[in-house]
Amino acid sequence: MDRRGTDEVHCACWDGLRVSVALHPMLSALTALYDAVGGWDRDVHPQWRRELRHAMPEHAAETLHPLTAGSARTPDLLTLPYRRVDRDVGFDAAMAALSALRGEDIVADIGQAFPDGAPALWDPVLRAPRTWLGRYVDVLRAAWTVLGPVWRRAEHLIATEIARAGETLVRRTVPDLLTTVLPGASFAAGVLRLPSVQPGRLDVRGRALTLIPLVSGRRVMAHDLDDPERSWIAYGLPGLETLWPGAGESADSLLAAALGGSRAEVLQRLSVPLTMSELADATYRSRSAVTGIVDALSGAGLVSRERRGRHVYVTLTPRGRRLRDLLNTP
């Protein structure tokens, strides 16, 4: 199930929109389940998909059926079971909040999600909400046995993404930030367009917006922009493919093992000479951070600086090119 349209997101003053990044690992588990159990292709690695399916309790497909078989709309509290989404909430804390929901909370949440009446596939949940909730928690916890180790290994990527978002927002506008971090997003004539299974028109005027990176799949995107108190957009974490099974044998990973991740990334970017500003933009790092990395690579004899008119370019030395070519050779 991957038929997509486009949501149109409007805001009277984009640069007045308050934007932050928060970590909600529960969403990574849930979006991975949409792929592995629900059949929504979100580019979860095939091995992770197999491990997720193997970890599932027998009732997983039946339990998730109301969420994955109908519309893309998910009741708010079943997605993030707490009011504040602009703060980090760990997986165990999210499961505790989810488990504490009362049956009437779940029924009311479903009613708010479907004001014209919930589809029939939600009937089993409405009849026995607490029973269904217990099974839902079991499924999420089972998914976390697979995704939890990935989340821990992704800590450096998550830290880089938070810094990237912050630096982009300092140097550019809010629309620039959103189109930079959100895959498939575009901005024109004051309207942000996002890929969506259920296209619609949304307005985020006067709201705070939380960005949530996910470690489930590269092409995943989810959002809730209806609630003025908790508007959020979740998206696949850039660089997630470096954590994929077998990625340790890739050229980038071999370079990272030899040089460290930041130095390896800069070395790989230098297929052509670049200025320091271009390197900073290409790697989503500050100018000072890139300067330190280039100093280290220069000290190792892997790059050199060359002045060309008003600009100084960083270029690979013969040693740096040999190292990069050696590790890029199958």
The domains of the chain are located at: 5-241, 246-328
Q: How far is CA 275 from CA 164, 167, 268, 279, in A?
A: 19, 18, 14, 6
Nearest Cα to 74, choosing from 205, 198, 200, 208? 198
Residue pair 14/190 in contact by the 8 Å Cβ criterion = yes
Residue pair 131/63 in contact by the 8 Å Cβ criterion = no
List the CATH code of the domain at 246-328.
1.10.10.10
β pairing state of 208-214 and 231-236: parallel
Give pTM, 2 decimals.
Answer: 0.72
Alpha helices in 24-88 (DSSP H): 25-36, 46-55, 60-68, 76-79
SS3 255: helix
Alpha helices in the chain (DSSP H): 25-36, 46-55, 60-68, 76-79, 91-99, 103-113, 123-127, 129-153, 155-171, 174-181, 251-259, 261-269, 276-283, 287-299, 318-328
d(Cα 159, Cα 272) in Å, to the nearest integer?
28
d(Cα 80, Cα 115) in Å, to the nearest integer?
20
pLDDT string in tens for the chain (330-residue length): 444 578 888 888 888 888 889 999 999 999 999 999 998 888 888 999 999 999 999 999 999 999 998 666 789 999 999 989 999 999 999 999 999 999 999 999 999 999 999 999 999 999 999 999 999 999 999 999 999 999 998 888 888 888 878 877 777 788 888 887 787 788 888 888 887 766 778 888 777 889 999 999 877 888 888 877 888 999 998 888 888 876 654 444 545 544 556 677 787 778 778 888 888 777 767 777 788 888 888 887 889 998 888 888 999 888 888 777 765 554
d(Cα 113, Cα 175) in Å, to the nearest integer?
28
CA angle, residues 34, 193, 183, in degrees to nearest 5: 55
Cα Rg, the chain, nearest whole Å: 22
d(Cα 305, Cα 158) in Å, to the nearest integer?
31
**Amino acid identity at 126:** L
d(Cα 49, Cα 47) in Å, to the nearest integer?
5
